[in-house]
Structure 1
């Protein structure tokens, strides 16, 4: 009888511990908890999502992340107002560069005012059944009332509302960061600061000596597009961008000049909104 009572007590103790651990909130998308969304509270045009934050409290989450933007996420025009996205936002890399407004209303520290963030990273641990933003510490705190950013970040995880918006980089032109491994037969570049849709479904390249033929580039990873031509290509290169959301195209003639250098960055004189 004593042995039976001890065993019963032991099982109850273990179950109690498991219940306590299940309630702990680590404030990170990489230990995600499926939120019970209250869709009836979403305003017209807005949809419910989960939000966590990662990295330093006033940082950009990570050093560029899975989209390949590098340290530019910390600088203008991104200015650390960025987010990693779950599968439905990151879209295997094609969601890189998309802009969203996010706001919170269910915490006393929420300002209820929307802020705009850009998808610059992947949240691989986020649940695929729901929309989830793993925000930078800066953008998570930006949803708070004045002076209450730390209080909001202490919540760790929130239910928020979001909506897709057009990107507007205030006159910043498109940038093409040529991959360090590029050569005369192989060309790859990371593309950023697309106004409008912000994300891309396709990129084509045209050589200087061919005025009619566009060559399809492949998505390498994140916002990096590549072409393995197999023989020498002749610059300057023109690029044709196709946006993911609306299918709009933009042609940038001579985007990559003759005599281009691997590792260099070239800026366009145009953008989608021009």
Structure 2
């Protein structure tokens, strides 16, 4: 289940979600307020990297992956323009959802025009300092018209890359409630973070309370809060940190 919200001046998001608990089939209506704060990370601009590709030649690499986006990698917002990242891009899951502009000029079939990809998977065995293991679709998009197959046949490319803002028109951020959530365990997938990109930290509190409780990164873009001693029943607020794009 997902709810998407639109931009507002103060970066405050209000969502109303229907949340189905497994306990007693209880349906609870919840309002989520989300506030963003911004951290800093110095991303390289126009730096060299290596690109390979995996999966189907016209596919999205793999459905699922190490970030938790699942089949959404083939959906309209990602449009299969995704990549697995080597360790310096994946960042143990912290790099999931980051957007990069990549282009190639090292092969005669390269168009030299940049395309934008999103990190949705991990490539732990990629040996280079910066390595994009692109989907077949994204790798082919680097080619001149009609030369995508020839470029994929090259297998490996020297490319240039830079970090860029993510653009998801009409969406500011989307929350997917994990189907395993219940009144004592809450998990949420955060995706389509428009603008600055990946989520660095996430905190939650009940609207009637005063204490912010840090959520733990379960894996990739999946965050959790265990609350074994206290039932999570009220309206909720999120406060999360995103990393600024230079």
1:67 aligns with 2:67: yes
Aligned residue for 1:224?
222
C-alpha separation between the residues in 1 aligned to 2:140 and 2:208? 51
C-alpha separation between the residues in 2 aligned to 1:64 and 1:175? 17
- Give unpaired runs (5+ residues) of structure 2: 1-43
Aligned residue for 1:165?
164
Does the aligned pair in 1 maintain the 2:99–2:163 contact within 8 Å? yes
Instruction: Judging by fraction of residues, say which structure has more strand.
Output: 2
Q: Following TM superposition, by how much is the alpha carbon of 1:244 offset from its aligned partner in structure 2, in angstroms?
A: 2.9
Aligned residue for 1:209?
208
Q: Following TM superposition, by how much is the alpha carbon of 1:139 offset from its aligned partner in structure 2, in angstroms?
A: 0.3
Q: Following TM superposition, by how much is the alpha carbon of 1:45 offset from its aligned partner in structure 2, in angstroms?
A: 3.5
C-alpha separation between the residues in 2 aligned to 1:244 and 1:87? 17
Aligned pair count reads: 201
Q: Following TM superposition, by how much is the alpha carbon of 1:76 offset from its aligned partner in structure 2, in angstroms?
A: 1.2
What's the secondary structure of 2:66's corresponding residue? helix
Aligned residue for 1:186?
185
TM-score using structure 2 length: 0.79
Query: What does the per-residue CA deviation read over 1:83-138, in whole Å, with 9 as the maximum and x for residues that have no partner?
Result: 000000000001000000000001000000000000000001112x5100000000
- Root-mean-square deviation (CA, aligned residues, Å) is 1.3
Instruction: Judging by fraction of residues, say which structure has more helix.
Output: 1
Within-5 A mapping of 1:60-139: 60-127=60-127, 130-139=129-138
Change (3 A) 1:78 1:91: same
Q: Which has the higher contact order (CA 8 A, sep 6+)?
A: 2
TM-score using structure 1 length: 0.71
What's the secondary structure of 1:90's corresponding residue? helix
Q: Following TM superposition, by how much is the alpha carbon of 1:223 offset from its aligned partner in structure 2, in angstroms?
A: 0.3
Within-5 A mapping of 1:32-47: 45-47=45-47
Aligned residue for 1:265?
none
Does the aligned pair in 2 maintain the 1:209–1:234 contact within 8 Å? no
Aligned residue for 1:57?
57
Aligned residue for 1:241?
240
C-alpha separation between the residues in 1 aligned to 2:49 and 2:157? 9
- Give unpaired runs (5+ residues) of structure 1: 1-43, 247-274
Does the aligned pair in 2 maintain the 1:94–1:244 contact within 8 Å? no
Does the aligned pair in 2 maintain the 1:110–1:144 contact within 8 Å? yes
Runs of 4+ in structure 1 off by over 4 angstroms are none
Q: Following TM superposition, by how much is the alpha carbon of 1:65 offset from its aligned partner in structure 2, in angstroms?
A: 0.8
